Chain A
């Protein structure tokens, strides 16, 4: 079946650096993408989302870029802090109605480690 995958399983950066986490998706029907942060032993925490009619969206210290041509999604974290250390997942979904609404397919995940 179609799936969402990540290029890099681990990313190690110094505090203050910018981090970029990448994700490839394959389901062309997906029209909604979300980045989640997961700390050890906890559920996913929403970071930022983007709809397929956009190519960029910015939040506080985070930016999500969507390239539908190559089916690629990225999360940029500015001035990365030790508290940003976690596993980051991209997820894709479809905003259509019915039972698929809210059903997400998660990517592989990237472990981000921020060194002080």
Chain B
């Protein structure tokens, strides 16, 4: 079946540094990927829609200059958390859209801890 890979699965960084998270569709092409954030014991909240070859669309309240998204190919989208702060610590999850809504596949998430 279709697989979406996220890397790294866990990352710890110091406050003020930047962290890049990768989301790859391994066996299908995804013109659109979605980035979600999930705080402990809470639901997934959509952050942005990543479109191959164009600018990402951010949800209301999400700072585009802080959460940089690059979708440079049909199989890779990256999320960079810039100048990370402890409040950015969260579980970041991507999904990739293949063919049809049944073609939505989620990655296994990246646990970011900012110290």
- Residues on A lying within 8 angstroms of B by beta carbon are 1, 32, 34, 36, 41-46, 49, 89, 93, 95, 99, 101-109
B61-88 interface bits toward A, Cβ cutoff 8 Å, 1 = contact, 0 = none: 0000000000000000000000000000
* Size range of the chain B interface in the assembly: 20 to 34
Partner of B101, one of A42, A43, A101: A101
Pairwise interchain contact B109-A42, C-beta atoms closer than 8 A: yes
Q: How many A-B residue pairs have CB under 8 A?
A: 57
Q: Is the C-beta of B89 less than 8 angstroms from some C-beta in chain A?
A: no
The answer to whether B32 and A99 have CB atoms under 8 Å apart is: yes
The distance in angstroms between the C-alpha atoms of A99 and B111, with both chains bound, is 27
| CB neighbors of A among B1-45 (8 A) | 4, 6, 32, 34, 36, 42-45
Say what secondary structure dominates the interface of chain B.
Answer: strand
Contact B97 A104 (CB under 8 A): no
Residue pair B43, A104 in contact (C-beta under 8 Å)? no
Q: Provide the bound-state CA to CA distance between A32 and B32, in Å.
A: 18
Kindly state the separation between the CA atoms of A27 and B102 in the bound complex, as whole angstroms: 20
